[in-house]
Structures are given as C-alpha cells and as structure tokens.
Amino acid sequence: MEIRIQALHFDAAERLRSFIEKKVSKLEKYSDGITDAEVILKVIKPEVANNKEASVRLNVKNGEFFANKVADSFEEAVDLSVEALEKQLVKFKEKSQAK
C-alpha cells in the first residue's frame, strides 16, 4: 500500500510521518484490497485547543473510505481517523460476506 502524507502550510516532522505510516499500514489487516492511502494534515486557525485536523482517505479496489478527525495533536487525530476507518472496513467486510 502506498501512503501519501500531505501537510498543509507546515512541514511535518519525520517522527510524525513515521507514526502516520505505522498507524495507517495497520489497516491492511482489515482489507487486502487497499491500494493506497492519502493523509492530509491541517492546522485550524485560530490557535486554540483541538486545532489539529487529520483526514485519511483509503482507496480500495471497489470504492473508497474516508475519515476526518480533529484533536489536540496530529497523533491523536490520526489515531481517531484510523479507528473510524477500522470500523468502516469491518462493517464493509461483514456486508460483503453476508451477500
């Protein structure tokens, strides 16, 4: 799976990039049809608590999944997005098997 990380209006540290790659790559165990993932990081103005936004889009063979979360840190926002995508992938897999 190819993982693209885009940080809008700032440079993401290498530590943050490796954290994101590690978290997002864990989604492969829920579906082997994931072709690539796109992660967009954005700081919401004005500078207040909960101003870090992470959007994660997964492209799969027959569609796409998307999660967008806001939190105090990018790590937390990515964590929440990955959790939401896990639920979506599990639900999608259950529906597919029910057919």
CATH code assigned at 8:
3.30.160.100
Between CA 39 and CA 43 the distance in angstroms is 14
pLDDT at 32: 86
SS3 for 25-41 is HHHHHCCCCEEEEEEEE
Our count of domains for the chain comes to: 1
CA-CA distance, 45 to 48, in Å (whole number)?
8
pLDDT reported for residue 86? 97
Interatomic CA distance for residues 62 and 45, integer angstroms: 36
User: Tens of pLDDT along 33-50?
Assistant: 899 999 999 999 887 889
Residue 99: which residues within 8 A CB-CB, separation 6 or more?
none
pLDDT digits (tens, 9 = 90+) for 28-87: 999 888 999 999 999 998 878 899 999 999 999 888 999 999 999 999 999 999 999 999
The residue segments making up the domain with residue 43 are 2-98
pTM of the model: 0.92
Q: CA of 28: how far to CAs of 1, 11, 61, in Å?
A: 8, 27, 13
Contact yes or no for 46/79 (Cβ under 8 A): no
